[in-house]
Amino acid sequence: MMLQKYQNQIYAGVLGKIIGVYLGRPVEGWSYEKIQDTFGEIYYYKNHKTGAPLIVPDDDISGTFAFYRALEDNGYSKELTAEQIGDAWLNYIIENETILWWGGLCRSTEHTAYIRLKNGIKAPESGSEKLNGKSMSEQIGSEIFIDTWALINPNQPERAAIMARNAASVSHDGLAVEAAVLLAVMESMAFEQPDIDCLLDESLKFVQNEFLVSLVQELRERCKMAEDWKEVRDWIAREHGYDKYPGNCPMVTNHLTLLMSLIMGGDDFAKACMIACSAGWDTDCNSGNVGCLNGIRLGLDGFSKGAELRRPVADRMYVVTSDSGETISDAVLETRKLVKAAAALAGEEIYLPEERYAFEYPGSVQGVIRFEENLEEQALTKIENAYEKYGIYGCEISYEGLGRGLHAACCVDTFIDLKPKGKEGTSYFDVLCSPTLYSGQEITATILCKDEQNPMFRFFYSVF
């Protein structure tokens, strides 16, 4: 079974996506000069510096993990059409509340496309240049939602290209669609080909826009000649900055920034995301795409170099759609859905755990974090995946000095605290959520502990 060997890379791609988004999110919309003056190079999460939670609802995450569900809704058809993906937009988006930037007709590309769809105009016409104009149809949005079409087509670039093209054309056209195809093909091929130059060479064969091809080739030459990423960034700003293109968030500027980050970051996951976050423009979108591709390309080992980026995230993510019972999610749960889709497309059968918490991927903790209340009485020292140490799937909860009056407490979120104490809120994207814990549920767990360290164990719930 070919798909079996790709599962960890799919998981790494999901992790890379959300880590990249969380790294770039706090400085989204900041000028390059402000980023440099405030942080310099961003190698770690800055949410605590800007007054926001680390885990927030974000369009890059919600849209990416919502729109590909058109495949499941249509029986995992290999001939999935743009119209069917457009229908998924109508099914999973709640107007003026979820996923999109609701900036208005002919101001927000995605909002414009949604209005077209709502008024009965089917995709791909909903995203066409003919209907919406060149400035609207060639913005960055086609790229930010594209990763899942590659993740469900590991080492299947032809199919990834077709699905990505159909998905991108729901809201975009022209160069923006071609850039999305380029990225999706690179990600699909990255399951087997880790070399960035080879990925670019092969993926450019799928691009139908000569201007984009020439742009990418010039960027590659600039990267070869530069000693530092900032030299390339200066060239992008000078020749292809936002002032050179119409619209709020043009594709060209951001696509070049994304590719610069991949090339100049080399095989260093943290460095590539740092460049994408530190360069300015659409930081969370660019870093999220960079993180996904490098997650696939470098695998889980790629997260081990540099600062510890996995532990603070702990797999946590929000997928905010009309399916509010799926809002509180994690990288393992989303990986299972992607693997199921990939298996269906590949015609393979694959076993997936039925339990919500199975911790089946290396290093996964599925949102298990320290319980923050009464930290002075907290004896918990570590939360980590148990497989490598014990050969069983599980989450190890370590503690020291546990005695009377102390506890080793960990928890998982079952609802979203919409306005954390001392914070202004989660983000400018609304949160619609149903709790994952409610009256009448039966909860079971298997607890293994050394006899000489066997504590009293109990479930608890806390309402803030």
Confidence at 356, pLDDT banded by 50, 70, 90: very high
Residue 351 makes CB contacts below 8 A (sequence gap 6+) with none
| Alpha carbons 382 and 384: distance in angstroms, whole number | 6
Residue 187 scores a pLDDT above 80? yes
Confidence at 422, pLDDT banded by 50, 70, 90: very low
pLDDT at residue 428, as a whole number: 56
Q: Minimum mean pLDDT among 77-86, 172-181, 428-437: which range?
A: 428-437
Q: Minimum mean pLDDT among 47-51, 201-205, 299-303, 356-360: which range?
A: 47-51
pLDDT at residue 66, as a whole number: 97
pLDDT in tens, 109-124: 999 999 999 999 999 9
Is-cis flag, bond preceding 124, omega within 30?
A: yes
Strands (E), 207-253: none
| Alpha carbons 159 and 313: distance in angstroms, whole number | 32
Q: Minimum mean pLDDT among 1-10, 100-109, 195-204, 424-433: which range?
A: 424-433
pLDDT at residue 419, as a whole number: 57
pLDDT at residue 449, as a whole number: 84
pLDDT in tens, 423-440: 444 555 667 888 898 888
Residue 401 scores a pLDDT above 90? no
pLDDT at residue 1, as a whole number: 58
pLDDT at residue 433, as a whole number: 85
Residue 321 scores a pLDDT above 90? yes
pLDDT > 90 fraction of the chain, expressed in percent and rounded:
77
| CATH architecture of the domain with range 2-318 | Orthogonal Bundle (1.10)
Q: Average of pLDDT values for 335-339?
A: 97
Residue 151 scores a pLDDT above 50? yes
Residue 444 makes CB contacts below 8 A (sequence gap 6+) with none
- Identity of the residue numbered 260: M
> What are the boundaries of each domain within the chain?
2-318
| Alpha carbons 74 and 87: distance in angstroms, whole number | 11
Q: Average of pLDDT values for 6-21?
A: 98
Q: Minimum mean pLDDT among 71-85, 267-281, 295-309, 400-414: which range?
A: 400-414
DSSP symbol at 25: G
